Amino acid sequence: MLAALGLVFVALVSTAQPTQDVACKPDTVLAVAHGRDYTLTVCGVGVISLRGVEPPLRSANVLIRVTPGADESLPAGAPHSAELVGGINIGPEAVAYLSKFVGQRVTMVYDGYRMGDDGGRRYAYVFLRDKTFVNTEMIRLGLGYADRQGTHPRRDEFLALEMSARRSKVGVWSEKMP
């Protein structure tokens, strides 16, 4: 009887695949997160931070309140703008937008600047199969702002998109209050 149970167990183990393997197809988005950066967990790659995109008013998952004329309270590299007054937490909307891509295959492009960090994250430009450039869409929709720390080849493009989002008053640049 014990031998028969052992055979049944071996048969079940050899045919069953872990749930992660079923959902994990190469270059497929498995999860998204919002913390110090917007990140995608990509099957076969690991954690990818969106290159050149910063979550507005967030630092280590803590909302930073900005008061008029108190630019010194901004974290290093944050935009110095009165438009940030009001502390709009756009994080939930940003995560909802990125969550649409869970299960989709993406292409990551690395630019050679700031390839990764000590936490194991890698920085990349992320494209969907339909050529949608996720990094620029985040900025265009006001779900993030252009990273001002250091340089990267698309920095000017990202800054121009941010200015357009500001003028259009979308996302974090809207006039809504939390």
* Alpha-carbon separation of residue 145 from 22, 31, 62, 84, 174 (angstroms): 35, 21, 17, 11, 13
Question: pTM for the whole thing?
Answer: 0.70
Angle, alpha carbons 149-154-158 (nearest 5°): 75
Contact 127, 85 (CB under 8 A): no
Amino acid of residue 87: G
Structural domain boundaries in the chain = 25-173
Question: So what CATH class is 25-173?
Answer: mainly beta
In a structure prediction context, what are the per-residue pLDDT tens digits for the chain, which is 178 residues long?
545 444 433 333 333 323 334 369 999 999 999 888 899 999 999 999 999 998 875 433 333 333 334 444 444 444 444 334 346 778 889 999 999 999 999 999 998 766 666 666 789 999 999 999 999 999 999 999 898 876 789 999 999 999 999 999 998 888 764 4
DSSP-derived pairing of the beta strands 46-50 and 122-128: parallel
Contact 134, 102 (CB under 8 A): no
